[in-house]
Structure 1
């Protein structure tokens, strides 16, 4: 623990909470005594805790980002920092603290800022543990083409749709529908611009394997998987499977 963490009362309280959660993680529950009901309740509560923790981290991220920008603005005024470098390094520090990549740190910073400034209703649902962090991120992404005023309207509409009672696909469909209806042209333009970011990437996997991924327009992705499956089926038809499944 750093000296700053020792002084900060919130960090001290979080440290104590982590210690208690570690203890709770080891407490057994007998699923046979109640048919597993207590286990299910515990799973649901812990899932809500994930959301609340994410919201708490967002609060810290926004506060840190704001403090860094204010400090950098002073440096710019003093002629000690190039104005074009304003905001740089913030996401990198967040990534280092969270043990994630710089790109993930930058995404988390963007999500935290959007929830704090443009999507208060969505953030309130996250704080209450009523929606997942993944759904909150989806809402941020899907409404990114909207101006702040329109985004706030959609945010309120989403809160009134009962997202917390929907399955993931149903909730994402509701978000997409409202985001499109709010600005059809902007929604279409954003989808068109997204094609500029298509790419193929390779990352390592366990046991000397790798994961080859393609970020493609949907029709190209469908064409790729169809071609691969057709080829696989042709091998299966001739008996040339080499002990492999269709996948």
Structure 2
């Protein structure tokens, strides 16, 4: 099986299991592909959709009972490492991030031990997993007795509610049973305020500010007022320039948070990986000038957009560092060190190579450059023995029963392949992505193939002064 990081579960999941139940579930799952949809009426097809939806709820309930049993077993054998270790194992089994694995372990414990009515409704397929998550989240600060009471009160109406309505109902009952705990929860939430970023489609990104409701609403109102004033021509220092209120509000918020004046260039470094062919039209003629670029940790960017970013930045704010790849251009093998303002080029190579945490399905930003084979066991600080990991996964791999080893070292142009072995002896493999991101392994476009259509003005026929400057740097 191949995942988003070409991560696969070793074939021992089903074939290596001696449990009859595992084999039965596997055979049932495989039998779903044999259902002949073409011979069914529309009524029966929709009935099948509804029944499969109920089946998903029942499967989630079974997963929760199994997960909680694993947690109890681990806490009895090694209570010190049980929490995060079980969460990471469950995340690998469910093919999701460790934080979601932790959440599932917590939800499983709450439903099995304190909310039997909700677990029963989930097992019968009357609700879906999101209902259970919302109920557990909204009752997290209650005592065991109060959580049982919430479970009892909502048992009769839960199947008729959507997951958002179920969460609101649980919040209302929780506030009635223990108002003080709700207040404490709001105070605790205020201490967790933060700013985060995540990629969005079409070369965009979401910048999220999580803060107290009053302050966030006030900041939003101020930004909107400024945007309406700019669009209405009431600001002498800034014009709308064809932008709407939403665009001006976004530009204003980003500029204020970065501490920039109107029109000032963003001084923070953004690493942009792209081929010399896509950047300047030089280099390997077998490659396409439309090969997308990549922003590490955020995803791909169309080549015309990446070129416009570089062109608009100006020569004074663009640094070029050459990356040396394998002959096929897939894997990073070395890196130019011409820019010396920052140290740790080896760490930068690991981040560029791995993109995100190298644990399968984690996808969290890289925080630690980790020794795959520990130094205490003779591991060396090298590109082949290094791996980019998030803080969570780097800590979990040191827990009892966890092992990570290099299956294939990134030498002679081959990708890095890591194998993770969990305390329950399941094995998972992950492969470092191509330098330009997943999807760039496709065959190269023929040199005589007509170029894809582009917007007018995206690629001027004559190179700009900045492009000539970059070409000279690359040729140095």
User: For 2:94 and 2:141, how far apart are their aligned partners in 1?
Assistant: 28
2:135 to 135, 139, 146: 139
2:135 paired with 1:151: no
Higher share of residues assigned strand? 2
Determine whether 1:92 maps to 2:88.
Answer: yes
Per-residue Cα deviation, 1:55-99 (whole angstroms, up to 9, x for no partner): 1111121122122222215xxxxxxxxxx5454411111112222
Higher mean alpha-carbon deviation, 37-46 vs 129-138, is at 37-46
Structure 1 position 165 matched with structure 2 position 176: no
More displaced 10-residue stretch of structure 1: 110-119 or 201-210: 201-210
CA radius of gyration, larger in: 2
Alignment of 1:2 with 2:12, yes or no, is yes
Q: Which has the higher contact order (CA 8 A, sep 6+)?
A: 2
Indicate conservation of the 8 Å contact 1:72/1:87, yes or no.
no
CA contact (8 A) 1:235 1:241 kept: no
More helix by share: 1
For residue 203 of structure 1, give the secondary structure of its aligned residue in structure 2: strand
Partner of 2:52: 46
The offset of 1:218, in angstroms, is 2.1
Q: TM-score, normalised by structure 1?
A: 0.81
Please give the root-mean-square deviation of Cα atoms over the aligned residues, in Å.
2.7
SS at match of 1:6: coil
Question: Residues 24-56 of structure 1: CA distance to partner in whole angstroms, max 9, x if unpaired?
Answer: 4x72477xx6xx544443333232222112111
Does the 8 Å CA contact 1:142/1:179 hold for their aligned counterparts? yes
Distance 2:195 2:44 in 1: 44
User: 1:185 and 1:37, CA in 2 relative to 1: closer, same or farther beyond 3 A?
Assistant: same
| Structure-2 separation of matches of 1:29 and 1:236 | 58
1:174 corresponds, among 141, 165, 169, to 169
For residues 212 and 23 of structure 1, the distance between their equivalents in structure 2, rounded to whole angstroms, comes to 45
- Unpaired runs of 5+ residues, structure 1, are 74-83
Output the CA distance in 1 between the equivalents of 2:215 and 2:39.
48
Partner of 1:129: 125
| Residue 154 of structure 1: how far off its partner (Å) | 1.7
Paired position in structure 1 for 2:240: 240
- The ranges of structure 1 where at least 4 consecutive aligned residues each deviate by more than 6 angstroms after the TM superposition are none
Count how many residue pairs are aligned between Structure 1 and Structure 2.
231
| Higher deviation after alignment, 89-98 or 216-225 | 216-225
The CA deviation at 1:12 is 0.7
Q: What is the match of residue 113 of structure 2?
A: 117
Q: 1:59 to 1:86 in 2, by over 3 A?
A: closer
Aligned CA distance change for structure 1 residues 151 and 214 (closer, same or farther; 3 Å): same
* Match of residue 14 from structure 1: 25
Residues 13 and 227 of structure 1, relative CA distance in 2, 3 Å threshold: farther
CA distance in 2, matches of 1:228, 1:220: 12
